[in-house]
Structure 1
Amino acid sequence: MTQEIWSKVDEYIFDALIPADRTLDEALLASDEAGMPPIAVAPNQGKLLHLLAKMIGARSILEIGTLGGYSTIWLARALPPEGRLVTLEYYPKFAEVARKSIDAAGVGERVDIRIGEALDLLPGVEGPLDLTFIDADRVNNPAYFEAALKLTRPGGVIVIDNVVRAGAVADPANTSDEIEGLRRMHELIAAEPRVDATALQTVGKKGYDGLTIVLVTS
């Protein structure tokens, strides 16, 4: 299997199941024009987040890592009109771009963008949450997971992106801070009696990575 095949299958999935969406496309374009790294979730991954939120009837969502607001829009669209989404972003420039795209998508009233270090902002986030999406620096993922668990109600879901890193998570020779953060996070999840979880490898236009999906059971 090659990147060419992965990308081709992604394009097939996009065409078959995910209708073209000018607002989402413009959000990605705005991120590109602002010089942001091209690391937003793929359309099928955004749709997965959207469906997970709808499946559990989410009314309150936390996102750690706003970037340009692409995944934020997918999640916010799954909320009812009175729903709320708090998204945490370290870079003010990214938050500014995201705010414009989120407002253009018509979901601005549901979205509260907070700027700063996520670990500093998390104590100010009010629960209970229905869904948390963690898509930020992997070094702090153990602390992000612990904070999300405290805030998420039983029956709620925590989704963590970028957990495979092209297989590096399973390479004992890789002891980088990022990879050790992912391993520590998975150790915490495995030892936590209040959750049930799995992880999925993903391939596609974004390369080779994965998602961890956690159900809060009690």
Structure 2
Amino acid sequence: MNILKLIFLSITVSLTTSLQGQITLNNPSFEDEPADATVPMGWFPCAPQTTPDILPGFWGVYSEASDGDTYVGLITRFDGSYESIGQRFIERLDDETCYSFNIDLAQSLSYAGYNEPLKIRIWISNKKCQKEQMVFESEFIEHSEWKTYKVEFTPEKRAKYILIEAYYTDGKITRTGNILLDNITPLIPCSKV
């Protein structure tokens, strides 16, 4: 019996040690019931008067998810509006610590006329839906198949929120485009990657 307790304790310590420093997001694969103009569980909208879509099944977007059953679509419009989402980290990010995570990105070739390629920008901050430090800007996503992108950054100060936005260019956005997001991996200190 003592050997079983020792094995159990050993496995528990190993798992705890391997997960130490790992920060997971709530619902990182954007799983929810597909719907238009809706934010998946665990996330909140950050752009005024506009929300993303939980896909597939709306606006002519039927691609399969890269992970799970659903994913999020963000768009930009000719009037300068754009979509963004955010959430509070389960644990605050430490300043001066390098973090790394992956995100899957794609573009839908058919999204109710919002068909041009976009970028995403990822921000961290200490206030909900604020843009204090940009930690990632993708290239224009011009592929309809899912591809994984690595994000690596060091917070300038402790941060507790993440914001992901559809992006085209500084100034007035005049592009009707889309970008699809799925499968955000846990944030892991860079030295453990």
TM-score normalised by L of structure 1: 0.26
Higher relative contact order (CA 8 A, sep 6+): 2
- Bigger strand share: 2
Higher helix fraction (1 or 2)? 1
